[in-house]
Amino acid sequence: MTAMEAAALHDWPDDARTARGIQQALAGRVRLEDDTGAVSTLAGVDTGFEAGGRTARACVALFRWPDLTPLETVIGRAPVTFPYIPGFLSFREMPAILAAMAQLEHLPDLLLCDGQGIAHPRRLGIASHLGLWLDRPAIGVGKSRLCGSHAAVGEQRGDQEPLLDGDARIGTVLRTRSRVKPVFVSPGHRVSHDGAVAWVMATLSRYRLPEPIRAADRAASRRG
């Protein structure tokens, strides 16, 4: 990696201007080839807020693969030092996520993150940023669109349409439940578009979101 990239990876900004520079420096390091190796554990990642929004509370819900047995749930907290600005979500939530990850004996072999991967204005959504930071395969699963356009998606479970930004494919709009609003799937790091969609489909139960993300979502937003 270049010196600028090395400096940007584990560096932290305190303003959007600097954050944008970090995103631009890191985006080129994202790998879109499937490089998951042997997956024996995977985790869902989500963040909630408490104390009137002054504290971020992240949850990492670890599961065994391929049986999807729940293994462990950890919670990490961190002061919120960055405002919510579309396109800069990772700078708000990652400190808490990293605090949660630090509680695990071993990092998950694959991360499913609530939010976008490369389906981002500068191709560095939270799943990409986190995947790069931890050097782990990561997938972004957004409940709504940040950027890009797409054709109408079929109404049946499994129907999908590529998410495009001009000529470039940045993700997939995937119907995870028949007649229910689709999700926005995009590679975070070390996974392909098709690989990301396959992982999401493989971790679904009967709901709209993958089970690992649902579990993280519950723990992260649960009061107390």
Partner DNA sequence: GCGACAG
Partner DNA sequence: ATCTTGTCGC
Q: Which residues are annotated as a binding site for Mg(2+)?
A: 46, 114
* Other Cβ atoms within 10 Å of 41 Cβ, number: 17
Q: CB-based contacts of 52: which residues, under 8 Å, 6+ apart?
A: none
Asked whether the beta carbons of 14 and 23 are under 8 A apart, the reply is no
Q: Which is nearer to DNA, 126 or 132 (CB)?
A: 126
- Binding-residue pattern over the window 111 to 130 for DNA, x denoting contact by CB under 7 A: ---xxx---x----xx----
Q: Which two tokens mark 79?
A: 């002061």
Please say which residue, 93 or 190, places its beta carbon nearer to DNA: 93
Please give the single-letter amino acid code of residue 179. Answer: R
DSSP SS3 for 38: coil
Cβ proximity of 86 and 61 under 8 Å: no
Kindly state the smallest distance separating residue 59's Cβ from DNA, in Å. 10
Backbone angles phi and psi of 202, in degrees to 5: -70, -20
- Grouping H, G, I as helix, E, B as strand and the rest as coil, residue 83 is coil
Stretch that binds DNA, among 24-32, 137-145, 159-167, 174-182 (CB under 7 A): 137-145
Q: Which is nearer to DNA, 2 or 84 (CB)?
A: 84
Nearer to DNA, 4 or 181 (CB): 181
For DNA, the binding residue among 26, 44, 47, 211 (CB under 7 A) is 47
Q: Does 46 bind DNA (CB under 7 A)?
A: yes
Applying CB under 7 A, among 142, 182, 187, 195 the residue interacting with DNA is 142
For residue 221, with 0-12 CB atoms within 10 Å meaning exposed, 13-18 middle and 19 or more buried, which class applies?
middle
Pick out the residues of the known binding site. Answer: 46, 114
Binding site for DNA (CB under 7 A): 46-50, 53, 84, 86-90, 114-116, 120, 125-126, 140, 142-147, 220-221
